A and B are shown apart, each in its own frame.
Chain A
Amino acid sequence: MADATLSQRLRPYRVLLASRARAQMQYRASFVTDILGTVGVGLAEFAEVWVIFHNVDVLGGLDFTAALLVFALSNLAFSLADMFVGHLDQLPRYIRAGQVDAFYVRPLPLLAQLMTSDLSLRRVGRLSVALVALGVALTTADIAWSPATVALIVLTVVSGTAIFSALFTAAGGLQFFLVDGAEFTNAFTYGGSYAAQQSQQVFPDLLRIFWTFVVPTAFVAYIPAVAILGLDDPLAPTWLAWLTPVAGLLAWGIAATCWRLGTRHYQGAGG
């Protein structure tokens, strides 16, 4: 019975997401083009890593396979988050189109409506690049497999997606204030994604602290990868890798606060 009510409670969102998927499938040719486009973006990002390793054998304490694992984990989490909630950082567009007002007169929470108002299926292109990279990294790397390793990988993908989703949500909340300067939030959404792909050892201490404790993208890929591969980085001990979900929760706490402040500002200022 409880299941039935839960499924009923979720029905509006299921219908909304299904409608978004249907709309994108309508124009098959441009949908395929868009998927190929995100495959291209994923490949270009990979090319950057690959070209560097064409010149060096080790970067930031990682060899190519380890760097590939970091690349794969962060891209996987980012493309999942981008697919589901990446449009949150397009909030000014929604405000200008009057869409936010339309959301307010519907009997569902605003954030839930905004999240389900789009579903960028084209991002499966980038997602598939990340999946292939993950497959290659996990099979070629020297990993001491155990149930804990598998659990850590799954936990990392889930928490990493949560962290990036939180960043997008925080971006949306801040954009209620920054309508004309919405690009500010790119600094930590796309910037965070770029930082997450790197070995954190390349950063000077201050930046490393920033990407661990302020915008916690170090937890998305690097810290778990060090644990999975059994590498040696005194600043990324194995137990820290298991705290990835905590980083996700904290990020969500901040995101929820940003969102609440943003909607309060909108209702206060009138858009």
Chain B
Amino acid sequence: MSIIETRDLVRDFKKTRAVDRMTFSVEPGEAVGYIGANGAGKSTTIKMLTGILKPTSGHVRTCGLDPMRQRVEVARRVGVVFGQRSQLWWDLPLRDSFAILGAIHRMDEAATRARTDLLVEQLEMGPQLGTAVRSLSLGQRMRAEIAAALLHSPELLILDEPTIGLDVLSKQRLREFLVAERREQGTTLLLTTHDMGDIERLCDRVLVVDHGRLAFDGTLTGLAGTVGAQRILVIDLAQPTPDLHDVPGATLVDSESDGLRQRLSFDAEATTVAAVLAHVSSRHEVRDLTIEEPDIEDVVRRIYAASGRT
């Protein structure tokens, strides 16, 4: 049985069609990235999956249940984090939020405590348990939100922009935790994001939505292949160097400061970072290197362009 199943799902707002004949399904254990421009219909879909919003027409099942008729049952089996909206009690110590949510999900106190301890340990939140939620940093709060959503061990975790506004380190910790959590529990994940890094680290599959329509459904590599989005390798060299035109599988994008910094694009299917680096460093002294991921907006824009929209 699919965890999420939609068929010809439609949602109209006054004059616009926010979700247009959307059909897809997500199997247990999958991790799916759900991406698209602002207003493309991502949040609307999530609201229909969780029973907040009534579909105009079409079919939707979450955990095999009708979210409109069986909202409470769906809520027991799904964990949701809405990026900018907190489900925690801002004026109480973090510990209390877990206790209250445990009671709401009708877990007994021992089970709540055991599960809280486990999540808190994995997310390294021990020192913050006594802190009032409103005093947590954004990164701490987001980890707390995710722990709260996972407290009742849901089958499906829906994350709406979980890494928005987080610093690099916080993002990394969050992703590592989610990878481990999914490895151990097999939780199904549906995630919307503007960060390609989230998709790369967390998702096996990507859905791209454009004006309410599904514009792409496949693997990340397939996505990059479809749109030709390439990663950029930024190489800082010790000496001014002539332009690196002869690297196999890579193309020079530009060169600054007499060739002290050069940017190469490369296709992930044709070569690897290691191969490119080995080639360059065998000829020149490399001081530093960074990788620029394809910008998700850029990927989406290309998908849109490919499907005949701008």
Q: Which A residues are closer than 8 A to B by beta carbons?
A: 8, 11-12, 14-16, 19, 22-23, 26, 97-99, 101-102, 104-109, 264, 267-271
Contacts and interface: CB of A to CB of B under 8 A. Distances in A.
B55 to A, nearest CB: 10
8 contacts: A15-B103, A26-B91, A99-B85, A104-B52, A106-B105, A107-B106, A270-B53, A271-B52
Given A97-B85, A101-B82, A102-B86, A270 B44 contact: yes
A59 B89 CA distance: 48
A263 to B, nearest CB: 10
Contacts of A271: 52
B100 interface: yes
Contacts of B52: 101, 104-105, 267, 270-271
Contacts, number: 79
Interface stretch (B71-79, B161-169, B171-179, B248-256): B71-79
Contact of B85 (A11, A12, A101, A269): A101
A98 B104 CA distance: 18
B153 interface: no
B306 interface: no
Interface of B: 13, 44, 47, 50-54, 68, 71-73, 75-76, 78, 80, 82, 84-87, 89, 91-92, 96, 99-101, 103-106
Given A15-B103, A101-B85, A268-B54, A107 B72 contact: yes
Contacts of A14: 103
B13 to A, nearest CB: 7
- The winner among B50, B78, B80, B104 for most chain A CB atoms within 10 A is B104
Task: In the A-B complex, list the 8 residue pairs whose CB atoms are closest, starting with the nearest.
Answer: A98-B85, A15-B103, A107-B75, A105-B80, A104-B52, A23-B91, A107-B76, A267-B54
A107 B73 contact: yes
A25 to B, nearest CB: 11
A108 B105 CA distance: 8
Contacts of A23: 89, 91-92
A26 B13 CA distance: 43
Given A105-B50, A109-B72, A98 B82 contact: yes
Contacts of A99: 85
A107 B80 CA distance: 12
Nearest to B44: A270
Given A104-B51, A105-B78, A16 B105 contact: no
A109 B106 CA distance: 14
Given A15-B103, A16-B103, A104-B51, A267 B68 contact: yes
Contacts of A102: 82, 85-87
Contact of B53 (A16, A107, A267): A267
Contacts of B76: 107
Counting chain B CB atoms within 10 Å of each CB, the highest count among A15, A268, A269 belongs to A15
**Residue among B78, B99, B100 with most chain A CB within 10 A:** B100
A55 B308 CA distance: 81
Contacts of A107: 72-73, 75-76, 104-106
B91 A15 contact: no
A19 B133 CA distance: 14
Nearest to A15: B103
A16 B85 CA distance: 19
B152 to A, nearest CB: 8
A106 B101 CA distance: 9
B78 A98 contact: no
Given A16-B104, A104-B71, A106-B105, 16 more contacts: A11-B103, A15-B99, A15-B103, A19-B100, A23-B92, A98-B82, A99-B85, A101-B85, A102-B86, A106-B104, A107-B76, A108-B104, A109-B72, A268-B54, A269-B13, A270-B53
B103 A12 contact: yes
B20 to A, nearest CB: 16
A12 B100 CA distance: 7
A99 B86 CA distance: 8
A22 B78 CA distance: 29
